[in-house]
Structure 1
């Protein structure tokens, strides 16, 4: 090895030892007779000291002309540091340099390699290999590494077997758009990159591998946000001969284990919340339960009083913002502007202040008496000093709008504390959702999800009201994992395809291999997949998953470091039998 120790390793017990350190120059301070260099590697930072008259002239000269991010080697004695730096683990010592050399010179980097950098996101993504040198980014990837190891340890101890499934598979029409790959050896035909290993893990259950897992790359060609990437990682799992409760217990155990091992947090038992309750109380199937502010339906108390906004509304909803009665008109106008933003779409906001003296002040006073307003407050469990915020309109839209307003108020009031963890299971989702545009049902999860056993008969008579035997894990308002008990009976699966609008020929062409497998003794089975990148961001206390991925894409799906995606030359296109089509399109 070119080094005896790392730059984060040396402590007071090493004083007097001769050591050799290697790394990158973080900072140089030249005071004439004394030069200090901070040298950095993946493990930390150590201060080097050069002193004229005691350090060789050659070493002094090299130190004086070193630049930021030069790769260097320094040999010397570990000594007690006079000015202790309590902010770093090596702050009690420094290395008095005897020998010093460059291992490689470096250009001046385009941004500061510091936790508080001066580089914007696009610049840092272009030079991601430099951004990865920053301690804050490195720590994110260390969290990811630890979570990978702990996940494998837990699942292996639970007798799960890690099995790799294919990356080049068949495109299917359900779900998000596929990324497709042309086949040179099969002209005009394409592979798809997997959105998940769903059918393969079900086939593994048919094969008798009763506990499977894989930490797997998946791909979806969809619009991107802070918590989405075109390629992402899942903890993908499947089990045979289990009920829903068996799966929830097993994977609740995984999440509890990760929180205890990595964050030293005891999660306790996770509550189960039906989908209908989540939508009614929070307007979301991934409710943030770190705080209350649950929805209160006010139709009975607000309608038929001459206020047309309420009278014409399908739903009138209120939330109680505790302690906010002192909000100024400017603050309330800000909230009104917030809900009227195009992406939220409310037409306005009604408020009721519960004053400290027991009186009430509303934005619709002329339509409602003091007694009316008092009843609103009582229904919302409001006390003097609270502020009730009210939206009205179509039921589904109003719930979505109120969900956004509730989250905004939670953020403004500091109730969405990243250091607090609130986790739950959301269960009993609708199996199907109706699409007005295509005039047919779509699977809310995927077409292999089993109906709730109690609703099995409704699949023929009333498919729109069938509940799925499905479940999502939600942590702090983020869906981190979801799964279901699967259909394992060929006839039930055929009926599901029929309800989803597949002809028998289409079902056979797309999923004939799975239907055939079910005829050879498929066991009852179910599974779950966790969004591993999202879990890492949650554990790191951040909203964006990008800094927990070594080489992420930007919000346009581009890797601006390697300039990808990029065009292929005509010869490559023709070899893939798509050159002619591209040429004609260009013409």
Structure 2
């Protein structure tokens, strides 16, 4: 190799030894006759010194060095002069007294600073991603991702799992998102689909007797992008036979607890992971992936205000609606414009509006609250006892702000849940060093699609219903609970799993409830139904998202920061310039025609 050690390995134990290093010029400093170069490779930095008294020719060559030049140096490891040590660097007590220099490659001036963690427009970073990945933060993210995947493999291998690859080119089947289609050259008019997930394949592996399977799987979904979603992503795909929900959740808790302890030991996390029912968290947090690092839970005020003189509250309850609220700590001094902004947010998320109650500008004791401190359009219709009861229910104190929504239960929960998440972030209520894991269980098996007027699976059509709910399947499918278990972390769903259906007739019945004809069932899922006829074992699985897990551990706001070559928010690859046009010959070869919107 062109080097015999890495830059980050050079320390005081090696003083006096000769070494050959290779890497990039991170920084250059001229101090009189001496030239100092910080040399960088993947492992870190080390200072290199060029002294004309030691070798004038090498010193002269060093004068031509610029940042990001690729060089090789040879020299002796020496302690830095007293008082010049850099304790921030692992190599900061030593330096290389360079005896020879080879310029392996020159570099143009980079379009942004590689040696500083400064804000750079994301489009520019993605266009020059190979430079962006040289930066320390990005390099650390990629190393963290490697460590996460390596640990997962080791953990599962030690527990008897087999890593098995499954095809990416599959058949198009409905799994919740649009497929990416690949036209077949050999079979005109027919298409493969890029796998949205290996769902049916891993179930077939259970029928095959594998019992414990996993893979680090690439998945593809043609859906709109957001901070935690890419059109191609990586998940840990896992399936086990002869298990129930407790077995799966125990495995997941052990995996993620050990993962954090080994790859991110500086992060604090809760254990055991709480198990929360879907219906409960929707009432308390307004969403199925709550951030549990802070409170500010949604409180039901319906019983307190049902008989109040404020018609917005009492009238809503009389019509079967609810009145609910959150208490926002320390925001009793919010201005009119700030409150109007919150009202608009609530309206965008389904609420008719908000009724704010300010409990004054100063902190105090609730028992000492008087009507003089209260500011609200509802104040003259509510008694002091009612306002104190509302504040107590919301765990609010003088100096806080209470936001109340009235209306349909689901709309109110959704609007207040969105406000809770936004205000929690805005006020810094969530400890950035904390990891709040929780399982969410007992989702409804089906949800009603109002637009299409049909039932659709809450997760996917392969989830088993609870046995005690089987009599409800045909008569009241909306009341059937699924054997789901999602794992949520800091406001994100990082894994979705369930116990699967493993009997043909039950699976067929679920497909029928979802509106599939017998012909369509056989065409899309015949291979799975046929396999179940040959002794399919009870089985369950889960699919944690690797990108989301790494992003949370790295403290990054988007998964794009932990994916080496992601698409941007618009789904464009700015480095390669894709998607791109292809030649007419390529199009003709797969027997399709292209229609472009004018």
TM-score range, shorter chain: over 0.9
Rate the CA distance shift 1:156–1:335 in 2: closer, same or farther, 3 A.
farther
Q: Secondary structure at the match of 2:45?
A: strand
Matched residues in 2 for 1:335 and 1:226: separation?
27
Residues 115, 136 of structure 1: 8 Å contact kept: no
Aligned to 2:403: 389
Residues 137, 547 of structure 1: 8 Å contact kept: yes
Residues 269, 436 of structure 2: 8 Å contact kept: no
Matched residues in 2 for 1:329 and 1:290: separation?
24
Matched residues in 2 for 1:37 and 1:286: separation?
49
Q: CA deviation at 1:346?
A: 4.2
Q: CA deviation at 1:226?
A: 0.8
Structure 1 position 333 matched with structure 2 position 337: yes
Residues 350, 412 of structure 2: 8 Å contact kept: no
Q: Secondary structure at the match of 1:533?
A: helix
Q: CA deviation at 1:119?
A: 2.6
Residues 333-372 of structure 1 aligned to structure 2 (within 5 Å): 333-341=337-345, 343-344=348-349, 346-354=351-359, 356=364, 357-360=368-371, 361-363=374-376, 364-372=378-386
Aligned to 1:509: 523
Q: 288, 292, 295: which one pairs with 1:289? A: 292
Aligned to 2:440: 426
Residues 67-466 of structure 1 aligned to structure 2 (within 5 Å): 67-82=66-81, 83-264=84-265, 265=268, 267-303=270-306, 305-313=308-316, 314-322=321-329, 324=330, 327-330=332-335, 333-341=337-345, 343-344=348-349, 346-354=351-359, 356=364, 357-360=368-371, 361-363=374-376, 364-466=378-480
Matched residues in 1 for 2:35 and 2:491: separation?
51
Matched residues in 1 for 2:314 and 2:573: separation?
52
Q: Secondary structure at the match of 1:340?
A: helix
Aligned to 2:25: 25
* CA deviations over 1:184-219 (Å, ceiling 9, x no partner): 111111100111100000000000000111111001
Q: CA deviation at 1:372?
A: 2.5
Q: What stretches of structure 2 of length at least 5 have no aligned partner?
A: none
* CA deviations over 1:409-461 (Å, ceiling 9, x no partner): 32233221220121111000000011111111001111111001221111122
Matched residues in 2 for 1:205 and 1:118: separation?
48
Q: Secondary structure at the match of 1:522?
A: coil
Residues 6, 21 of structure 2: 8 Å contact kept: yes
Matched residues in 2 for 1:379 and 1:234: separation?
41
Matched residues in 1 for 2:518 and 2:350: separation?
42
Matched residues in 1 for 2:32 and 2:399: separation?
64
Matched residues in 2 for 1:377 and 1:50: separation?
70
Matched residues in 2 for 1:282 and 1:121: separation?
33
Matched residues in 2 for 1:345 and 1:238: separation?
38
Residues 216, 237 of structure 2: 8 Å contact kept: yes
Per the normalisation by structure 1, the TM-score is: 0.95
Q: CA deviation at 1:266?
A: 5.8
Aligned to 2:581: 567
Q: Secondary structure at the match of 2:325?
A: strand
Rate the CA distance shift 1:262–1:383 in 2: closer, same or farther, 3 A.
same
Residues 175, 196 of structure 2: 8 Å contact kept: no
Matched residues in 1 for 2:454 and 2:119: separation?
52
Q: Secondary structure at the match of 2:564?
A: coil
Residues 340, 347 of structure 1: 8 Å contact kept: no
* CA deviations over 1:378-421 (Å, ceiling 9, x no partner): 33343444432212233222111101211223223322122012
Q: Secondary structure at the match of 1:506?
A: helix
Deviates more, 1:337-346 or 1:59-68: 337-346
Deviates more, 1:374-383 or 1:545-554: 374-383
Aligned to 2:7: 7
Q: CA deviation at 1:118?
A: 5.0
Residues 126, 132 of structure 2: 8 Å contact kept: yes
Aligned to 2:47: 47
Rate the CA distance shift 1:203–1:8 in 2: closer, same or farther, 3 A.
same
Matched residues in 1 for 2:461 and 2:343: separation?
36
* CA deviations over 1:250-270 (Å, ceiling 9, x no partner): 121111110111223564211
The count of corresponding residues between Structure 1 and Structure 2 is 580
Q: CA deviation at 1:503?
A: 0.6
Q: CA deviation at 1:347?
A: 4.7
Q: Secondary structure at the match of 1:123?
A: helix
Per the normalisation by structure 2, the TM-score is: 0.94
Q: What stretches of structure 1 of length at least 5 have no aligned partner?
A: none
Residues 312, 393 of structure 1: 8 Å contact kept: no
Q: CA deviation at 1:484?
A: 0.6
Rate the CA distance shift 1:573–1:495 in 2: closer, same or farther, 3 A.
same
